[in-house]
Structure 1
Amino acid sequence: MKILSFFLFASSIFLFAFIFPKLVKPKAGISKEIFGKMPDGKEVHLFTLTNTAGMEVKITNYGGYIVTWKAPDRTGKQEYITLGVPTFADYLKGTPVFGPIIGRYGNRIAKGKMVLDGKEYTLTTNGSGNHMHGGKIGFDKKVWAATLVNNPEPALKLQYTSPDGEEGYPGTLAVEVTYTLQKNNALRIDYKATTDKVTVVNLTNHAYFNLSGMKRDVLNQELMLPASKFLPTDRTQIPTGELKSVAGTPFDFTKPTVIGNRINDTTDTQIKYGHGYDHCWVFNDQSKKLKLGATVYEPVSGRFMEMYTTEPGVQIYTGNHLNGKIQGKEGVPYTTRFGLCLETQHFPDSPNHPNFPTTTLRPGETYQSTTVYKLSAK
C-alpha cells in the first residue's frame, strides 16, 4: 500500500511538472564541465549559472568570456542575447572579443606610452600603433583560477595574477572578477585588484549584446545614456582631451533614441573616425556609487536591459567592423552592427590626460568596480 501511495504521489508530481512547467521553479545553482584544452594540455572549463527564474549564463575561465546568455522575450521565449562562437577552438583562434574580461587596461593608451611618478613606461602596441585592451596577450587570453559559489544567487569567482612587466605594465597585479547571476535576472560583475608597485588599472567586460535574440542587427534598438558629454577622438581614436557636449550631435542619447537614426551621418567627423559609434560617453553622475548607466530596448522582442555601474564612463561600440565572416553559435552570420557593446570603464588614455579621472593604483590601495546588466521584458 505504501509503495502504491508513493508511486501515485511521484506520478502526480511528474504530471504537475509536465503540464504546468511554468509553475515549477528551476533550481538555482552553478555547474562545471570541460570546455576544451589549451595548446599545453591544460583543461579549460565552462560554468553554467542558473537562477530560479530560469535564466542561464555560461562563462569560461579562459579569459572570463561570457560564452552564452539566454533571456526571455515578452512571451517568455528564451533566446541568446550575447554574441559568441560555437567551440573553444574558435575562442582560441581569436574573436572580436565576444564577452571576455579586458585588462589591465580596457580601451586605448596612446602609442603605448605613459608616465607614472616621473618614470616612462612602454606598453605593447596593437591596433593603429596604440596599446589596446591590455596588449597582445591581455587578460582575455589567460586561464583564470575559478571558484564556484553555489548559492541561491550562484557566482563564479575568477582570479589571475599578472606578473610585473607583463605587456609592459609595472607591478604584480592580483585580480579578482566575480560574476553573480541574481534572482532578478541581472548579471553582476565585481572587479577587484591590488598591486605591489604603482600601476594603472581599467577593467571591463566586452560583451556584444543583441536583444533581438540574434534575429537582426541592433540598429532598431533604442539606447539611452544619462551622459551629456562624450570624448571626441583623433583618427586613431585616442581622446583629444576635450569633454564635448552631445547636444546637437549624433551622440545625444540623453533620451531613448533609435541607434540607427544617426549612425551613418557622414557629415560628422567623429562618426567617420569610429565608422559609427566607438566612443566613450561621460556620465553626468561621476560618483563611485552604483548608478544607472544605460538602457537598451528592443521593440520587437520587448527585451529591456538596464545597465548600472560605479564607473565614470561607458564605451559604446556598435559592431562596426563585423563583416559576416564569423558565424555565431546560433548559425547566424555576424554582420555589420550585429552587436552592441557597453564597456563600463574609466576613460581611454587616462594616464596621459591629467583632467581625466585617474586610473593609477598604488600599493596598499584596492581597485574596486561593479557593473550590473539587468534584463526584463515589456
Structure 2
Amino acid sequence: MSETSFTLQHAEGGVRIRVLAHGATWAACHVPLPGGAERSVVLGFDQHTDYQRQQAYMGATVGRWANRIAHGTYTGPDGELVHLSRHPGSEHHLHGGAEGFDQRTWTVLHAAADEVRLGLVSPAGDQGFPGTLHCEVRYRLSSPSCVEVQFTASVDAPCPVGLTNHAYFNLDGQPTDVRSHQLWLNAAAALPVDERLVPTGPPAAVIGTPLDYQTTKPIGMALDNAFLLNPASSAASATEPAEPAAELTSADGLLRLRVHTSLPALQVYTGEFLGACTAGCSTTWAPFRGVAIEPQYLPDSPNHPEWPQPSCWLMPGQTWQHHIRYEFDLPGA
C-alpha cells in the first residue's frame, strides 16, 4: 500500500509528529528530552499496510460517531428510528461501524511544515446516518511543545456528530505497562456501563470510587470508561477552556502530557485488547502498552438528550467545530 504521510514540526523545533492520509491518522510523535535524547510516545506501525489490518483505531480520526450507540439505533428529530452500521457479531454501533472514518483515505487539502489539513465527504446513508457530511481535520504544531487537532464538520440533514482522535500514548518511550503512569482527570462524574460498555444510567459521582482521578495517582487498573468533564475544562465551542481536561505523567516522572479540549467528556482506555486488535500486524502491541485519552461526547448521547452536556446534534447551516490540544512538558525541569 502506497501511503501519503507528513512529518510536521514547529519552526523552532521541539515535538515532531507523523500524520497519514489513511484514517487521518496520528502515526508517530517524538518528544525531545534534555541532553539530546527523545521519546517516541504514540503507538503506531512501521508498515502502512498494518493500519488497514489492525482493529485498534491506532491514532485514527474516528467518526461519524466516536464510541458506542446502544443497539445501533437512535430516534431522529422527526421520530424516525435510525439504524446504524455495526461490526460483524456486534450488537452496538462503535466508532463508525464496519467502515468508519479510520479506514478511509482522506483528501489532502493543505500541507505545510508545521500543519496538514485533511478532508472527507461522508454521503447520505453512510454508516446509516442521514445527510451528507463534510468534515476536516487539521493537525498543527502551534508551539514546540503543543500538538493541536481541530475538527470541523457540516451536514445537510440533522445528524448527531462526534469525531475524535484515537491515539494511544506511552510516555515512557518504550513498551511498558501504562497502568504505572500517573493520571489526573478534571472529572467528578463517570458513566456507569454494563459488560458491553453500554451506559446503564446517567453520570454518577466518582468520589469514593476507584474511578476518582481528581487527585493524581497511578492508573493502577484496566480502564475503558467515560468521564464527564467539569465545566472549567470543557467548552461548548472551540474556545480555549480554562483548565486541562487530563494530565498523564510517565512512570519515571520525566515527561507529562496535558490534554485540553472543547468537548464535554473523555473516554480513557488502557489498551487491554491491543494484542488481539493488532494480531497479524508486523508490530503486535501487547495489552496495556498504550492509553487512549479520547475527548468526545458521552457514549450513546443521541439516545440521552437529558444528560448534562451540550447537544451532540448538528443541524444544516451550523458548523461543528471542536479541538484537542496535547501539550508536553518536563515536570522536573
TM-score normalised to structure 1 length: 0.80
Name whichever of 58-67 and 75-84 sits farther off: 75-84
Q: Is 2:266 the partner of 1:295? A: no
Q: Which residue of 2 aligns with 1:277?
A: 223
User: 1:281 is matched by which residue type in structure 2?
Assistant: F
Residue ranges of structure 2 left out of the alignment (5+ in a row)? none
Instruction: Quote the offset at 1:299 in angstroms.
Output: 4.0
Change (3 A) 1:93 1:76: same
Deviation at 1:87, TM superposition (A): 0.6
Deviation at 1:76, TM superposition (A): 4.3
Aligned-residue RMSD, C-alpha = 2.0
1:147 CA displacement: 2.8
Larger radius of gyration: 1
1:163, 1:75 → 2: CA distance? 50
Give the conservation status (yes or no) of the 8 Å contact 1:128–1:236: no
Shift of residue 333 of structure 1? Answer: 5.0
Letter in 1 for 2:315: R
Confirm whether residue 377 of structure 1 aligns to residue 330 of structure 2.
yes
Change (3 A) 1:141 1:326: closer
Does the 8 Å CA contact 1:73/1:301 hold for their aligned counterparts? no
Q: 1:300 to 1:206 in 2, by over 3 A?
A: same
Q: Is the 8 A contact 1:123 1:167 kept in 2?
A: yes
Counterpart residue identity of residue 85, structure 2: T
Structure 1 stretches of 4+ with a deviation exceeding 6 A read: none
Structure 2 partner of 1:359: 312
Q: Matches of 2:112 and 2:166 in 1, distance apart?
A: 25
**Matched residue, 1:340:** 291
Structure 1 residue 105 corresponds to structure 2 residue 65: yes
Residues 1:328 and 1:251: Cα distance change in structure 2 (over 3 Å): farther
Q: Which deviates more, 44-53 or 160-169?
A: 44-53
* Aligned mates of 1:241, 1:375 — CA distance in 2: 35
Q: CA deviation at 1:53?
A: 2.3
- Which whole-Å CA distance do the structure 1 matches of 2:152 and 2:276 have between them? 36
Cα distance per residue 1:248-295 (max 9 Å; x no partner): 1110000111011xx1xxxxxxxxxxxx21111011115324331000
C-alpha contact 2:9 2:144 (8 A) present in aligned 1 = no
* Identity %, equivalent residues: 32
In the alignment, which residue of structure 2 is the partner of 1:91?
51
Paired residue for 2:270? 318
Q: May I ask how many residue pairs the two structures share in their alignment? A: 320
Question: How far, CA to CA, are the matches of 2:328 and 2:276 in structure 1?
Answer: 27
- Give the Å deviation of 1:301: 5.8
- Show the counterpart of 1:120: 81
In the alignment, the residues of structure 1 paired with residue 81 and residue 9 of structure 2 have an alpha-carbon distance, to the nearest angstrom, of: 46
Q: Distance in 1 between matches of 2:179 and 2:266?
A: 19
SS of the aligned residue for 1:82 comes to coil
Shift of the alpha carbon at 1:49? 0.3
What is the alpha-carbon distance in structure 2 between the residues aligned to residue 332 and residue 62 of structure 1?
Answer: 18
Report the Cα offset of residue 95 of structure 1.
Answer: 3.6
**Does residue 138 in structure 1 map to residue 87 in structure 2?**
no
Cα distance in structure 1, aligned partners of 2:84 and 2:177: 35
- Please give the alpha-carbon distance, in whole angstroms, between the structure 1 residues aligned to 2:37 and 2:99: 38
Q: How does 1:233-312 map to 2 (within 5 A)?
A: 233-260=193-220, 263=221, 276-285=222-231, 287-288=235-236, 289-291=239-241, 292-300=244-252, 302-312=254-264
- Closer/same/farther in 2, CA of residues 209 and 253 from structure 1, 3 Å limit: same
The amino acid across from 1:282 in the alignment is L
1:327-354 CA distance string (max 9 Å, x none): 899x975222110100000111001112
Letter in 2 for 1:290: E
Counterpart among 49, 57, 69 of residue 8 in structure 2 = 49
Q: Is the 8 A contact 2:131 2:158 kept in 1?
A: yes
Alignment correspondent of 1:21: none
Taking a change above 3 Å as real, the CA distance of residues 121 and 327 of structure 1, as seen in their structure-2 partners, is closer
> What is the CA distance between 1:149 and its match in structure 2?
4.0
Q: Secondary structure at the match of 2:275?
A: coil
Question: Does 1:231 pair with 2:191?
Answer: yes
Task: Using the TM superposition, give the Cα deviation of residue 324 of structure 1 relative to its aligned residue in structure 2, in angstroms.
Answer: 7.8
Q: Which residue of 2 aligns with 1:199?
A: 159
Give CA deviations for 1:344-369 in whole Å, capped at 9, x if unaligned.
00111001112123211110111110
Gaps of 5+ in 1: 1-35, 38-43, 264-275
Conserved? CA contact 2:15–2:146, under 8 Å: no
Instruction: Decide whether aligned partners of structure 1 residues 246 and 75 sit closer, same or farther in structure 2, where only a CA change above 3 A counts.
Output: farther
The question of whether the paired residues in 1 share the 8 Å contact of 2:53 and 2:278 is answered with no
Tell me which residue corresponds to 2:28.
68
Q: CA deviation at 1:167?
A: 1.0
